[in-house]
């Protein structure tokens, strides 16, 4: 294999730049030309492809976002879009492709492999941590740290006014960010889509905590469980609390990646190139225990990542 390409696709996640850098430099160390595809599958269809050298990835490991940029691409879902993508890979002589992204992007990678025989290795990049087969995806740790910083700050102002804050965090359909940040920040309650909840019970519990002397309450809501605005109205109306809401939004996805995300992405980038060189395709890099391994995309995409409900027990037990 002499030419490979790398792209970032779907929602960006902190650590993607570290992943690209690792792919480029591991490739160069193995005498391979590495191409960067701009804007994910959109750029692949449009032929936005350029050769990357070592200097192109200088000073990128500490930067959030993705310098190759990213996009969510509908055209790739069509046969015509897929054919254009394939033509561009062929005209650049690209023999192996590395796709960094979430479920949708990995599905695109699987299509290229299964339908068209392109050797593709995926790398899980999504703050949601909803990708099966890897204990954690690139960007999750940074997003959690971003959330924790924000909640810690909110806690201070909330305590000064005995207020109840409803804080909405990202995660699409997955409650992982909400649950782990609730544990990390000592939230009074957490509401996630995976676990049934009773609003009145939560409100009663919070009332009781105020009676016992708590000076504030923080409730973390996963966006997939509903909107903080609606929950806020209910808490105000039913509980009678002095309620404020904060939607953390995209600030969770930005910022310099943590050391964990930089090293995770770096290790996965190296493993992805090694995987291509060893002849693998249709696989994804995964963190299993302390090791980076390769797992079939088929397995990744036909399974749902389950949330460990033990964490919910911990969050509840510790919110006393």
**Nearest residue (CB) to ligand F6P, 244 versus 253:** 253
Q: Tell me how far apart the alpha carbons of residues 41 and 303 are, in angstroms, rounded to a whole number.
A: 23
Nearest distance, CB of residue 245 and ligand F6P, angstroms: 17
State yes or no: 102 annotated in a binding site.
yes
Nearest distance, CB of residue 77 and ligand F6P, angstroms: 16
Nearest distance, CB of residue 171 and ligand F6P, angstroms: 5
State yes or no: 187 annotated in a binding site.
yes
Enumerate binding residues for ligand F6P (CB under 6 A).
11, 102, 126-128, 170-172, 223, 253
Query: Looking at 12, 128, 141, 261, which residue is catalytic?
Result: 128
128 counts as catalytic: yes
State yes or no: 105 annotated in a binding site.
yes
Nearest distance, CB of residue 31 and ligand F6P, angstroms: 36
**Nearest residue (CB) to ligand F6P, 3 versus 72:** 72
Annotated binding site for substrate: 126-128, 163, 170-172, 223, 244, 250-253
Residue ranges at the known binding site for Mg(2+): 103
Residues with a known catalytic role: 128
């Amino acid at each position: 294999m002499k030419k490979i390409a790398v792209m970032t696709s779907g929602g960006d996640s902190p650590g993607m730049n570290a992943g690209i850098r690792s792919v480029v430099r591991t490739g160069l160390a193995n005498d391979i030309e590495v191409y960067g595809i701009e804007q994910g599958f959109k750029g692949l269809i449009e032929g936005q492809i350029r050769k990357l050298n070592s200097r192109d990835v200088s000073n990128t490991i500490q930067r959030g976002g993705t310098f190759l940029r990213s996009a969510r691409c509908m055209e790739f879902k069509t046969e015509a879009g897929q054919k254009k993508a394939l033509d561009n890979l062929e005209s650049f002589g690209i023999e192996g492709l590395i796709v960094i992204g979430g479920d949708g992007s990995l599905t695109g990678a699987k299509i290229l492999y299964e339908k068209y025989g392109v050797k593709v290795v995926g790398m899980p990049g999504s703050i949601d941590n909803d990708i099966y087969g890897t204990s954690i995806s690139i960007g999750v740790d940074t997003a959690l740290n971003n959330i924790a910083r924000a909640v810690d700050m909110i806690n201070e102002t909330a305590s000064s006014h005995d207020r109840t804050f409803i804080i909405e965090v990202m995660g699409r359909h997955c409650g992982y960010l909400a649950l782990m940040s609730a544990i990390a920040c000592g939230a009074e309650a957490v509401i996630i889509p995976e676990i049934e909840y009773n609003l009145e019970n939560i409100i009663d519990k919070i009332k009781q905590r105020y009676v016992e002397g708590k000076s504030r309450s923080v409730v973390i809501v996963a966006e997939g469980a509903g909107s903080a605005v609606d929950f806020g109205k209910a808490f105000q109306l039913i509980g009678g609390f002095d309620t404020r809401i904060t939607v953390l939004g995209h600030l969770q996805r930005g910022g310099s990646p943590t050391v964990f995300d930089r090293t995770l992405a770096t290790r996965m980038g190296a493993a992805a190139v090694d995987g291509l060189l060893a002849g693998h395709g249709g696989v994804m890099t995964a963190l299993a225990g302390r090791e980076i391994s390769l797992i079939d995309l088929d397995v990744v995409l036909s399974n749902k990542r389950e949330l460990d409900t033990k964490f919910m027990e911990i969050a509840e037990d510790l919110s006393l």
